[in-house]
Amino acid sequence: ASLRQLLEKMPKAELHMHIEGSLEPELIFALAERNGVTLKYSSVDELRRAYAFTDLQSFLDIYYAGASVLLKEQDFYDMTRAYLGRAHADNVRHAELFFDPQTHTERGVDFGTVISGIHRALQDAATEWGMSGALIMCFLRHLSEEDAFATLEQALPYRDKFIGVGLDSSERGHPPEKFARVFARCRELGLRLVAHAGEEGPPEYIRTALDVLKVERIDHGVRCLEDAELTQRLARDKVPLTVCPLSNVKLRVFDRAADHNLQRLLDAGLTVTINSDDPAYFGGYVNDNFTEMFSVLPLDQRHARQLARDSFAASFLPEQDKRRLM
Ligand code: HPA
Ligand code: ZN
């Protein structure tokens, strides 16, 4: 079989995907109409044309505007269902999804509405396709630690519906240590911990995410290579990096796909996974991320198999499930 077929067919896990970032322009318009929400854009094409990002913040502004059409439990279900269907087509067997409750609770949408709709879609995907899934609640790092604590309080009645917490939104100027106490509390609660670090922010943020927040995976982390000692530590401790190639190109972390440091990360002995981040905004789902990287970098079948295996190894699945899927 060709390398492309191997990439598309091989079972994989997706570990870095913001469910609000899977909202396609067509669904944004359909939900806007269903809910009577007025958008700044007059058509699907006009919205899509606005997806010309210069950095992380320019993307986040549009991403939060897109999420404003989500009001009802069914909206969150429909969005999640659409993503899971696409992921199933890409042979994703396990998906750990980020969601951003504060984007919705700030607009008056109840926490329970958000998590119940998303969770119900995950249950249906498990029943219909045998696909497993889990939820990771992200705190918006441009908001305060106090806001994060309030969000955690709202989440606790739904503790059985999510497995961990993460940290996303504007990275620069919002270092991990801003959330030291709330992550310590989440750790006491037995939640799994991850954080975005070293996407736009410096390698130092990767270090403090590990040392202060005590996260188990780093989301993005591509800037680690600027610090040799940190790179060696990540390799030695097998800290997974959930890398999102098309995102990094769209948000100008790298100028072109061919400039992406994926191969260098692998050569440094790091545990890396390939993910789509916000597939509706960055031009592709997980298989598109694989095929783009393998078409511009000198990666081979061994790399493909390693990336698939590590996607399960780096997941929060119980060990026996990992072994079954790997
Ligand atoms: N970085 C930070 N915040 C985000 C991202 C990202 O790539 N996607 C959605 N929220
Ligand atoms: Zn992300």
Q: How much is the ipTM here?
A: 0.95
- pLDDT for the residue numbered 167: 98
How many CB atoms lie under 10 A from the CB of residue 65? 15
Give the pLDDT band of residue 1 (cuts 50, 70, 90): confident
Q: Which atom of ligand 1 is closest in space to residue 168's alpha carbon?
A: 3
Q: Is the dihedral of CA 218, 161, 287, 326 positive or negative?
A: positive
pLDDT digits (tens, 9 = 90+) for 47-75: 999 999 999 999 999 999 999 999 999 99
As a whole number of angstroms, the distance between CA 190 and CA 210 comes to 17
Is any ligand 1 atom within 6 A of the Cβ of residue 168?
A: yes
Q: Is the dihedral of CA 23, 26, 29, 32 positive or negative?
A: negative
Percent of residues, the chain, with pLDDT higher than 90 = 99
As a whole number of angstroms, the distance between CA 23 and CA 115 comes to 16
Residue 324 lies in a domain: no
- pLDDT for the residue numbered 219: 99
Stretch 250-259: mean pLDDT: 98
| Residue 184 CB burial class (10 angstroms; 0-12, 13-18, ≥19) | middle
Is any ligand 1 atom within 6 A of the Cβ of residue 242?
A: no
Q: Which structural domain range is residue 151 located in?
A: 17-314
What spacing in Å lies between the alpha carbon of 220 and ligand 1's midpoint?
9
Residue 320 lies in a domain: no
Using CA positions, which residue lies closest to atom 2 of ligand 1? 169
Does the predicted TM-score (pTM) go above 0.95? yes
End-to-end CA distance of the chain: 20
Residue 247 lies in a domain: yes
pLDDT digits (tens, 9 = 90+) for 151-182: 999 999 999 999 999 999 999 999 999 999 99
The verdict on whether residue 277 carries a ligand-binding annotation is yes
Catalytic residue among 199, 200, 226, 229: 199
Residue 199 bears catalytic tag: yes
Residue 164 lies in a domain: yes
Is any ligand 1 atom within 6 A of the Cβ of residue 90?
A: no
DSSP 11: -
Residue 6 lies in a domain: no
What spacing in Å lies between the alpha carbon of 174 and ligand 1's midpoint?
13
pLDDT digits (tens, 9 = 90+) for 99-146: 999 999 999 999 999 999 999 999 999 999 999 999 999 999 999 999
- pLDDT for the residue numbered 122: 98
Q: What is the CATH number of the domain that holds 130?
A: 3.20.20.140
As a whole number of angstroms, the distance between CA 256 and CA 133 comes to 32
Q: Give the ligand with the smallest distance to the CA of 100.
A: 1
What spacing in Å lies between the alpha carbon of 18 and ligand 2's midpoint?
6
Q: Which atom of ligand 1 is closest in space to residue 251's alpha carbon?
A: 7
Please, which residues bridge with residue 164 across strands?
A: 136, 192
Stretch 27-42: mean pLDDT: 97
Residue 7 lies in a domain: no
**Mean per-residue pLDDT over the chain, rounded:** 98
Domain total of the chain: 1
Using CA positions, which residue lies closest to atom 10 of ligand 1? 169
- pLDDT for the residue numbered 221: 98
Provide Rg for the chain, Cα atoms. 18
As a whole number of angstroms, the distance between CA 164 and CA 152 comes to 11
Residue 5 lies in a domain: no
pLDDT digits (tens, 9 = 90+) for 195-229: 999 999 999 999 999 999 999 999 999 999 999 99
Stretch 297-322: mean pLDDT: 97
Q: Give the ligand with the smallest distance to the CA of 19.
A: 1
Host H or E run for residue 187: helix 180-188
As a whole number of angstroms, the distance between CA 118 and CA 137 comes to 12
Is any ligand 1 atom within 6 A of the Cβ of residue 271?
A: no
Nearest Cα to 128, choosing from 85, 186, 179? Answer: 85
Stretch 292-317: mean pLDDT: 98
Residue 37 lies in a domain: yes
What spacing in Å lies between the alpha carbon of 324 and ligand 1's midpoint?
31
